[in-house]
Structure 1
Amino acid sequence: MQTEHASALIQNDAITLGLLLLLLAGIFYTSNSSSPIFKKFYSIIPMLLLCYFLPSLLTTFGIVDGENSQLYFVASRYLLPASLVLLTLSIDLKEVFKLGSKALIMFVTGTFGVIIGGPLAILITSAINPDLIGGAGPDAVWRGMTTIAGSWIGGGANQAAMYEIFKPSDRLYSIMITVDVLVAEVWMAILLIGVGKAKQIDKFFKADASSVDHLQKKMHDFSLKTARIPSTTDLMVILSIGLGVTGFAHFVADVIVPYIEIHAPSLNKFSLTSRFFWLIILSTTIGIGLSFTKLRNYEGAGASKIGTIFIYVLVATIGMKMDITKIFDNIELFAVGGIWMLIHVILLLIVGKLIRAPYFFLAVGSKANIGGAASAPVVAAAFHPSLAPVGVLLAVLGYAMGTYGAWLCGLIMQAVAP
């Protein structure tokens, strides 16, 4: 494994970042081209999907070392919190709450789909090939699957918690991480394709997306009302707001987490000992707080545009972590993960149809589980940048429920495993 990554053509993150930005610039430029060819192409393939998929080719073909690169860590720990601040700066919280209960219902449905999907995937595959879902002790496949459940309901912190609770072998754990990432990324690609077909999907669901459209229009109108040509001072203030709050969030997280670990270690099950959890919570909360101040007028100078750029850089680094050829390693276990994900998706489609939920709620409700705070705002922002906070709020709920849901899923999988 190490030899393969050591053979990557480019291992310098500065060069890799330059390549990613060149790719993003090319995608943005062509997507805004007046050329009929590009207009037709982007009417079929969403721009965001390319920002996600093309970087994965750099890893797949050994051009960059996506696994060992630190760019995703930097983007998720620095740019993501800053983007959440800048995207929530002008949010109208009252309008977000007016979106109603369907967003929450779809989120809970997604969680339930993961909890029952794992055991059902074991039952289905063991009926076809009993040897596949086997193993004993730390190598029991169900133990490794609990870590996927932690990731798919909450996030990395919940995944680590399942690793500690059910103790799969390191070999099995590394395989499950690959299954987790690739199956989740394929589903994300499908969701992004669906963004371009949202109106048709809403028509099929007989969904009323007026609340989503109203929030999107209100945010857009506010942006136009306060719009101005940004000065250097404006841009410096915007960057200081985003990155300054990010720095403060890191400072507070570095104080809170050690305190909880020493004085209240039992709170680990709520992800309260995860620095990333606190980064997301603090950045979002402070951003929402600032939306009640005059700082929200910096939206007119491009606050959300800078936040969106940060999000797209994050998307490129997420895509870079995916090596498509890994699908062919342990292909049988990818089939198990695929069945598991399919159950999650089918349940979302059934409930979405029954309650006539807009596609926005289905997509964001799913990614708030499978992907958490790093992916849910990306999918939400694909509809409109101002909708990113909706994804964040649901993802935070996923962190809180992740350990409990995954633990329950693990117990059921243990009971049904052959």
Structure 2
Amino acid sequence: MITDGFLFLGVLLAMAGVIVYVERRKQYALFRYVPGFVMLYLGAAALNTAGVFGDSESIETVGSGVQDALLPAMILLLLFRCDVRKIVRLGPKLLLTFAVTAVSIVIGFIVSYLIFQGLLDEGSWRGLAALSASWTGGSANMVAVQGILEAPENIFGHVLIVDTIVYSLWLLVMFSSVAFSDRFNRWTKADTSHLDVHAAADTEDEARPIDLASLMTLIAFSLFVSAIAWQIGGVLPEIGIVVTGTTWTILIVSVLGLIIGSTRLGKTAGSTEVATIMLYVIIGIIASGSDFSSIAEAPLYLLAGLVVVIVHGLIMAIYAKLTRTELFSIAVASTANIGGVASAPVVAGAFNRQLVPVGVLFALIGAFGGTFVGLLTGQILAVL
């Protein structure tokens, strides 16, 4: 059992290094369908489930500290050379997609509650309403709705387990969907020309050599900005339960990243590579907290949660087919709702780093609206 934080981080980095080497050098067919970061997610989650990662203060401190440091830095680098004007040209359809995603999740909770209502605990609707706030906003929204509706502690404990497990599984599905985006887009007959413009912009960096100066500039600057953003975010006033220090930090690096994108610094070679390294570390840390053995503690609530995401997935697939929407918008909108501000930009970056602002925007919209959506869901479930 690993209880030392430094060893824990070393194991994750070693796993990531091996996976990246095999993926880039060996060209195995498996990686055409399962990206390397998905393999890392599965491997780290499996080790944690098997008890390799112990429950120690050292691991928690190192893991959360590294993740807090790298997440803003990664978002900043992913926003380098991002043309905001092209994002604006994507039009109102992105907002429609996000709205449909939130509505589909609410419908999923209604369908799931109707199926399991007679089997769940009395007052289970209160816990499910809190869970719906989390899946359309974030953990802060979940706690807020739990406090407002006074969900019983035992039920709230069950939905916390469901939140962790189903979120982990859904995040895995979203990461894996990157490999099937072309096939999905052909099925929906989606027009991806606006995404191709951003992808073409990435190729401009290929001609620029990555040297020590560029790597040092990117690493030092991004981590410095991350540290400053956390300091500023920590002293800015919190507004309600949604606008917290973390929210301010993500907003700061996002705005700064967009500004830098129009400067010469934004064209520094290697931003993609450095951001990708950070992406692997963050995914490994997130996955190391996934423990699928807790599935036995709340099987009915877990099934109810799975029904929610299945209904959500079906509705979004139908929506994509009818409106000819590409998989990127669907996946990022879904992750922004179910995952939140920490995972939506990561999934967006996995598809196309030029579109990270869409993930940030979606997640922030969800953070503001999740509480109200959760209360609305609770009101609907209460009268069923």
Find runs of 4+ consecutive structure 1 residues off by over 4 angstroms.
Answer: none
Distance, in Å, in 1 between the alignment partners of 2:191 and 2:71 is 31
Contact 1:104 1:365 in 2 (8 A): no
Please list every run of 5 or more consecutive structure 2 residues that lacks an aligned counterpart in the other structure.
Answer: none
- Which residue of 189, 209, 212 corresponds with 1:228? 209
Q: Is the 8 A contact 1:118 1:145 kept in 2?
A: yes
Q: Secondary structure at the match of 1:374?
A: coil
Supply the AA of the counterpart residue of 2:337.
Answer: N
Q: 1:312 to 1:67 in 2, by over 3 A?
A: farther
Please tell me whether the aligned partners of residues 67 and 321 of structure 1 are also in contact (alpha carbons under 8 angstroms). no
1:33 maps to 25
Farther off after superposition, 241-250 or 333-342: 241-250
C-alpha distance in 2, partners of 1:328/1:31? 35
Task: Choose the corresponding residue for 1:284, options 254, 270, 273.
Answer: 254
Given that 1:153 and 1:398 are in contact with CA atoms closer than 8 Å, whether structure 2 keeps it comes out as yes
Whether 1:10 and 2:2 are equivalent positions in the alignment is yes
Letter in 1 for 2:120: I
TM-score (norm. length: structure 1): 0.86
**Partner residue of 1:64?**
53
The equivalent residue for 2:370 is 402
1:67 shift after superposition: 8.7
Superposed displacement of residue 239, structure 1: 2.2
1:195 aligns to 2:178 (yes or no)? yes
SS in 2 for 1:144: helix
Paired with 1:399 and 1:215, the residues of 2 have a C-alpha distance of: 27
Q: Which structure 2 residues correspond to residues 106-185 of structure 1 after superposition, within 5 A?
A: 106-126=97-117, 130=118, 132-135=119-122, 140-185=123-168
Letter in 2 for 1:318: I
What whole-Å deviation, never above 9, does each CA across 1:129-167 have from its counterpart, x for those lacking one?
A: x1x2232xxxx2122222211211111221221222122
Q: Which residue of 2 aligns with 1:42?
A: 31
Per the alignment, do residues 75 and 158 of structure 1 end up closer, same or farther by CA in structure 2, a change over 3 Å counting? farther
C-alpha contact (below 8 Å) 1:66/1:322 kept by paired residues: no
Match of 2:16 in 1: 24
Query: Residues 66 and 279 of structure 1: is their aligned pair in 2 closer, same or farther, counting only changes over 3 Å?
Result: farther
Corresponding residue of 2:90 = 99
One-letter amino acid of the structure 1 residue matched with residue 206 of structure 2 = L
Moved more, 318-327 or 13-22: 318-327
User: 1:87·1:307 contact (CA, 8 Å) conserved in 2?
Assistant: yes
d(CA) in 2 for partners of 1:89 and 1:195?
Answer: 21
Please tell me the residue identity of whatever aligns with 1:90: R
**Given residue 228 of structure 1, which amino acid in structure 2 is its aligned partner?**
P
Separation in 2, partners of 1:406, 1:222: 44
Post-superposition CA distance 1:372-392 (Å, at most 9, x none): 121112222222333333212
Q: Normalising by the residue count of structure 2, what TM-score does the alignment of the two structures yield? A: 0.94
Alignment match of 1:238 (pick from 218, 233, 236): 218
Counterpart Cα distance in 1 of 2:279 and 2:64: 13
Equivalent residue in structure 1 for 2:228, among 233, 245, 248: 248
In 2 relative to 1, CA 72–405 (structure 1 residues): closer, same or farther, beyond 3 Å? Answer: farther
RMSD: 1.9
Q: Tell me, in whole angstroms, the C-alpha distance in 2 between the residues paired with 1:57 and 1:147.
A: 28
1:90 aligns with 2:81: yes
User: Is the CA contact 1:66–1:320 (under 8 Å) kept in the aligned structure 2?
Assistant: no
CA offsets 1:169-200 (integer angstroms, 9 cap, x no match): 33322221110111122122222222211111
Contact 2:13 2:281 in 1 (8 A): yes
TM-superposed deviation, 1:98: 2.3
| Paired position in structure 1 for 2:42 | 53
Assess, with a 3 A threshold, how the Cα gap between structure 1 residues 123 and 253 changes in structure 2: closer, same or farther.
Answer: same
Instruction: State how far apart, in whole Å, the 2-side matches of 1:105 and 1:48 are.
Output: 29
SS of the residue 2:325 aligns to:
coil
Partner amino acid, structure 2, of 1:312? Y
Work out the CA distance in 1 between the residues paired with 2:180 and 2:223. Answer: 35
Match of 1:295 in 2: 265
Q: Give me the whole-angstrom Cα distance separating, in 1, the residues matched to 2:177 and 2:196.
A: 17
| Amino acid across the alignment from 1:82 | A
Q: Report the Cα distance in structure 1 between the residues aligned to 2:182 and 2:210, rounded to whole angstroms.
A: 33
Aligned partners of 2:19 and 2:40 also within 8 Å: yes
> Unpaired segments of 5 or more residues in structure 1?
1-8, 261-266
Q: Which residue of the partner structure matches residue 190 of structure 2?
A: 207
Structure 2: distance between partners of 1:379 and 1:223: 21
Match of 1:263 in 2: none
**More moved, 248-257 vs 336-345:** 248-257
Provide, for residues 308-363 of structure 1, a one-character-per-residue CA deviation record: whole Å limited to 9, x for no partner.
21121111111111112222321111011011111211111111111100011111
CA distance in 2 between counterparts of 1:333 and 1:386 reads: 38
Instruction: Please say if 1:309 is aligned against 2:291.
Output: no
Q: Work out the CA distance in 2 between the residues paired with 1:323 and 1:149.
A: 21
> How far apart in 2 are the matches of 1:54 and 1:309?
17
Q: CA deviation at 1:72?
A: 4.3
Distance 2:138 2:69 in 1: 18
Answer yes or no: is the 8 Å Cα contact 2:120–2:300 preserved in 1: no
